[in-house]
Amino acid sequence: MSKHRLVIIGYGNVSRGVRASIAKSADMELVGIVSRSPERVKREVADLPVIAMENAEAELQRLGAEIAILGGGSKNDLPKFGPRFAKAIDTVDSFDNHIHIPDHFAAMDEAAKSTGHVAVISSGWDPGIFSMERTLAGAFLPGSRGYGFYGLGPAGGLSMGHSDALRTIPGVKDARQFTHAIPEAIERVRKGENPDFQPGDMHRRECFVVLEPGADPAAISKTITEMPGYFAPYDTTINFVSEEELKERFGGFPHDGLVVAAGTTGNGNKALVEYRCQWGSNPEATANVLVATARAVTRLRAEGKRGAFTILDIPPAYFSPCSREELLKHWM
């Protein structure tokens, strides 16, 4: 079997998961890593070329890379280097700031089309899998709305994007953000009310923050609670903890979520659609979806497609390593 040659751009928790997922994929091969901190990455990764971000495009060509999986955060990283690399290579990213997805799509579409590449954006479990489930629920139950809820258990779910946003604040050394679903909101949806929720009606946020020496807790708290697109619309609790406590209490990255839609079919019969995900590792969950999406990119390119796409634009079969015959026989 010929293997598709992938590179990772940006090396953090999601990218570590991507590396592990590629190792389990018989049709994929990781040929290099691009990083702004190549010396740090070289200490962790000894079996692959590690390339500095500054002049990476020439090295990607030399390595014969076909697809780049873009790591990095949605707040600052992907808007900057996403369009840059979409001009040089086919890309997949997990941009997860929902309100800015149209802007990111437009930027990636323009960049990819300018040089004839494919760029799939916002691929992960949400946005990504849950985007598809919300769309299907709305199609199968006309008049209903598909809602996404996250952090269903008592501990909530650890959000990578929101945690990364916290760490971009000057004076924050490290941080974790847990999302908590509001149970009453879930029940309203299950009853078929189709409520017009505002952002803060469905979830609350809980932050655990380690400060740099000398940082002002009051100023940091104000910055967090006023951060648009992340915390401003939500009931947000901020806990300042030591570095040791953060690592001891939150060594893993668990998360979970639910898409739910309720409505009626033909003669007013009640109907309920639910789709649940539970992940022991949030970054590894996102990573597995990214690698499957890279497989879909190869099929889009083979069809002559160019520009930006989302999971909603891609046939489900394109994500699978199975042939059509295998899918028809074993998965239908």
Q: Find the angle CA(91)-CA(97)-CA(100) to the nearest 5 degrees.
A: 85
pLDDT at 1 over 80: no
DSSP 239-274: EE--HHHHHHH--SB-EEEEEEEEEEETTTEEEEEE
The CATH code that applies to domain 129-281 is 3.30.360.10
Q: How far apart are CA 179 and CA 68, in angstroms?
A: 30
Q: How far apart are CA 120 and CA 253, in angstroms?
A: 25
In angstroms, the Cα distances linking 172 to 163, 215, 247 are 11, 8, 15
Q: Lowest-confidence range among 80-84, 187-191, 263-267, 285-289?
A: 263-267
Q: What pLDDT was estimated at residue 12?
A: 92
Q: What pLDDT was estimated at residue 244?
A: 95
For residue range 114-173, list pLDDT tens digits in order. Answer: 999 999 999 999 999 999 999 999 999 998 999 999 999 888 999 988 998 999 999 999
Is the pTM for the entire model greater than 0.85? yes
Distance of CA 270 to the CA centre of its chain: 33
pLDDT at 75 over 80: yes
Which contacts of 34-41 are long-range, i.e. CB under 8 A and separated by 24 or more positions?
34/7, 34/8, 34/9, 34/10, 34/59, 34/60, 34/68, 35/9, 35/10, 35/11, 36/10, 37/11, 41/11
Which run of H or of E encompasses 206?
A: strand 203-211
Which residues lie across from 128 on neighbouring strands? Answer: 125
pLDDT at 28 over 70: yes
The CATH code that applies to domain 4-124+283-330 is 3.40.50.720
CA nearest 257: which of 177, 158, 191?
158
Q: In whole numbers, what is the pLDDT of the chain averaged over residues?
A: 95
Q: How far apart are CA 239 and CA 94, in angstroms?
A: 28
Q: What pLDDT was estimated at residue 58?
A: 93
* Extended strands (E) in 12-163: 28-35, 50-52, 67-70, 90-93, 118-120, 147-150, 157-158
Tell me if residue 278 falls in helix, strand or coil: strand
- Domain chopping of the chain, boundaries: 4-124+283-330, 129-281
Q: How far apart are CA 98 and CA 267, in angstroms?
A: 35
Count the neighbouring beta carbons within 10 Å of the beta carbon of residue 152.
19
In angstroms, the Cα distances linking 205 to 37, 57, 116, 236, 282 are 31, 39, 41, 5, 17
Mean pLDDT (whole number) for 278-289: 95
DSSP 123-175: -SBTTBHHHHHHHHHHHHSTT---EEEE--STT-EE-HHHHHHHHTSTTEEEE
Report residue 324 as tokens: 């059509």
4-124+283-330 and 129-281, same CATH topology: no
Q: What pLDDT was estimated at residue 227?
A: 95
